[in-house]
Every structure is written in structure tokens, then in C-alpha cells.
Structure 1
């Protein structure tokens, strides 16, 4: 039994009968465990398991579905194993309702009470009251020294123009923070859970942009989510740039095309 399964068993006080690797886990190893008492649970590591537990609790408190936290310490997070049987015809509409419900929850300022990380890439979440300044400092200029100079100069040009492109004080919605299709579990017509969050409070359009980075939600999602603010399409590339830059830093120059495409869409 590996260390992750062993520590999960210690935290739960129940022996593990079987441990199987789960799909994904590029940044955080993840196991499905069959316990001696017959339950199935999920055990994962991560940059800050206790912080992820707080994020999942915040998502659940919003009314959006998330796995229950069974145990957590500084190295391991143990979660309820949610049904994930695939999508039905109405699942996209349910995702629209779920994301809208998540975004209703509002924070006092932009940010989160702790920093986080995607692997080796820090997520700076220090509180702020000026949204363009938050996005400029915490999500764009933070990549200085980690990108080719020519690419970073384009990022800087965009960052310098954010006061003309982003609203100064949008509602500080609760964001999932890493909302792509792989972090949504479906059971038939319903979303059974949002997983692997990187939560903070910010402009709701950030999650919507991320959701369309590797796919494109259809009309049923948008009808259920509700009308977007004027200018959302023009802001989407600005918000897509953050995850594109993260992917470039984590996985290398193969993501230069994505970053350049997003910058071109933003007119930079």
C-alpha cells in the first residue's frame, strides 16, 4: 500500500482493502479506495489539502454540488466518492444552473484568505478592492521571469490596459477557479459534483472563460446560466489568458500557440 492510501486509512480509522489510481492526477496523485467496511472513497494529495477542503465546503455552502470532505491533514484529502456515470441530454442545462448558483455567493473583496497553487505555479490570492489591479498583478504580471521575453512583453501590454478593458468593481462572485470539463462530474441529467477547485472571489466571467478554453458550452448552458453582462465576449480572452499561461508554465512551449491565440483574440 502506498503512503497516500496508508495515510487515508489512518485518518479514517478504517483499513483499506483495495487502492486504484484514478484518471487525471497530472498535478496531484489521486486514488479510489475500497475500505474494509465496504465504502468507496477518494484520496488525493495536493498543494494544500486543508485549503482544498475549505474550498469544497464553500462550494457546497453555495448550494452547488461538491464531494463531502471525510478527512484532511497537511498531505492528504479524503473525499466522498460521487457518482460519475456520464452525461445525459439535460446535463448541460444543469451545469448552467449549478454555476449560476455558485456565483450567487459573494465575497467582501477580490481574492481568498490563502494563496494556492497549480503544481509549481503559485496562485496569489491576496485581497484587493480594484479588480483590474487584482487581475494585472495576481494573474498576469506574476508570470514575469517564467515566459520568453517576447511573449511576456505582449502580456505586459495587455496588463497595462486593463483599466480600459475590465470593470473596476464587478460583483465578487465565488469562483471555482479551475472550471473545465474534467472538473465536473455528471450522473445522467445532473451534475453530481464540482471537484479540484482553486477558489477565490472575482468576476464571474472568469469561470465562464475557463469553461470555454478547452470546449464550448452550448445554448442550454447559457440559457440556464442567464444573460451575460455587455462586453463579456471581449473580456473572455483576457480571462482565458491566465489558465493558458499556467499551462505554458507547467507543460512547456507546446502551449505557446494557445497563449498567442488568446493574446491575438484580445487584440494584443
Structure 2
């Protein structure tokens, strides 16, 4: 039994045989706890469980399906287990599109978030500000590329100087999931069951749309349910996808170098 599993067992009083490691959990250990009354609970570890719990409550308040937070204590987050059949049918994608539109209709007062947090070992600077191109340039692209090899850093620095021409100065301050890809979307019976693993902040709604199309190719039903986009979306999508590409390069290695190169080439960086 791992250290985290022992902590969960001590916290919940669950015997070892009721704990099962779940697939996924690239950035933190995730366990399934089978309770004596037949209910199942997901236990996640990490240094910022209170932050994640607050984000899940924020998503729920926005009307988006999320797991119920059952408890948070000493680096353990206990969440309602959501059944997931993993079938991303056109009907399910339409439901995801409608829920994403509802999420983005909730707005804030500044770009960013009230606290900083990290995606694994990649710390995110969420200082709130009113300048969207500046936020994306300084607190997402430049900050994330700071530890990469010098040629990449120099290319990002050149690109950052052009963001005022590529991005809108003050798009609506939409509530973002922040890591919206199919691995963080649970579906069941042709519907969205829950969004999980949020990395919330307020920003341009196209950030979430760029992320959901980075690893997946949603069918037209998704876009139809979400609604039309402003002209220039294609080029902005490359700018927004560059940030998660950098994050994946840092977390998972050079297998993502080609993605970074392709995006920067398309942006003329």
C-alpha cells in the first residue's frame, strides 16, 4: 500500500482491500474507495486539494455537472464517483458543447484567478489583470517556456511581442475549465456526466475550445451546440494551444516537441 493509500485508509477507516488504484492520474495518485454501504468515492492526492475543491464548487455553481466534493483533509480530496461509459457520441459532444457554452457565460472581473496553483510541476501565475494579451504572453507563454531550451525561448519571446495583434484586447472574462480535454470529461448514455480536474481561471472562452481540439476532433454537433465563433479563430487557436503544448513538453518530455514546433511554425515564430 502506498503512503497515500495508507493516508486514505486512515482518514476514511476503509480496509486496504476496498482501495483500488484508478487508471489515469498522471499528475497525482487517484484511488477508488468502495464503501461498505455500496457507494464509491474517488480519493485524490496533491498539495492543493482545497483549491481543486473550490474550483469544482465554482463549476457546479455555474450549472456544469461535476462530482460532489465529499471532503478534503490533509492532502486528500474525496469526491463522488461518477459512472463513465467513455462513449463520445455526437449526442454526447452536443451536450458537452452546450455545457461549455453555459460555463463560459459566467464571467469574472479580471483575467486570472484568485490563487496560484500548478499543473504537476508546472507552476501557473494567475495574478489578476485587465490586459488579456499581456496575461497570455507573460503569465502563460513566457512563464511556461522559461525553462525550455534557448532557441524555443527566443521564438516565444518574438511571438509574445505580436500577441497584441493576434489576440483581442478585452474578450469577455469567461469562467474557464482550464484543462478541457476528453480525459477530463466524463460521459454516460450520450450525455455529459461530469467535468473533472479543473484548472480554472477567467479568460477568453476560446482557450477551452482550443484545448478540447488539441487532442480530440469533436464532431460538428459540439460546435453547433456551443455556438458560432469570431473570425480569426483558427490563428488564435494556435496561440492558445501553444501553452498546453509547452506544459506537456515539460511534464512528459520530448514526445511533445513536434507539437510545439508545428504550432510555432504555423504562427511564424
Q: TM-score, normalising length from structure 2?
A: 0.95
1:240-259 equivalent positions in 2, closer than 5 A: 240-259=241-260
Q: 2:144–2:243: 8 Å Cα contact kept in structure 1? A: no
Moved more, 198-207 or 73-82: 73-82
Cα gap change, 1:169/1:74 in structure 2, threshold over 3 Å: closer, same or farther? farther
Q: In the TM superposition, what is the alpha-carbon distance from 1:10 to its structure 2 partner?
A: 4.9
Instruction: Kindly indicate whether residue 94 of structure 2 is the aligned counterpart of residue 93 of structure 1.
Output: yes
- Alpha-carbon RMSD: 1.5
- Report the counterpart of residue 168 of structure 2 in structure 1: 167
The runs of 5 or more residues in structure 1 that have no matched partner are none
- Report the counterpart of residue 59 of structure 2 in structure 1: 59
1:181-192 equivalent positions in 2, closer than 5 A: 181-192=182-193
Q: In the TM superposition, what is the alpha-carbon distance from 1:11 to its structure 2 partner?
A: 4.5
Deviations 1:50-86 (A, max 9, x none): 0000000111111011101000124111000011023
CA distance in 2: counterparts of 1:203 and 1:74, whole angstroms = 34
Q: 1:94–1:221: 8 Å Cα contact kept in structure 2? A: yes
Q: In the TM superposition, what is the alpha-carbon distance from 1:188 to its structure 2 partner?
A: 1.3
Q: Secondary structure at the match of 2:18?
A: strand
1:1-268 equivalent positions in 2, closer than 5 A: 1-12=1-12, 14-16=13-15, 18-87=18-87, 88-268=89-269
Q: Count residues in correspondence.
A: 267
Q: 1:106–1:172: 8 Å Cα contact kept in structure 2? A: yes
Moved more, 86-95 or 156-165: 86-95
Moved more, 82-91 or 166-175: 82-91
Q: In the TM superposition, what is the alpha-carbon distance from 1:39 to its structure 2 partner?
A: 1.3
Q: In the TM superposition, what is the alpha-carbon distance from 1:36 to its structure 2 partner?
A: 2.3
The runs of 5 or more residues in structure 2 that have no matched partner are none
CA distance in 2: counterparts of 1:163 and 1:145, whole angstroms = 20
Q: 2:98–2:225: 8 Å Cα contact kept in structure 1? A: yes
Q: TM-score, normalising length from structure 1?
A: 0.95
Deviations 1:210-258 (A, max 9, x none): 0111112110000000011121111000000000001111122221111
Q: 1:8–1:78: 8 Å Cα contact kept in structure 2? A: no
Q: 1:50–1:74: 8 Å Cα contact kept in structure 2? A: no
Q: 1:97–1:225: 8 Å Cα contact kept in structure 2? A: yes
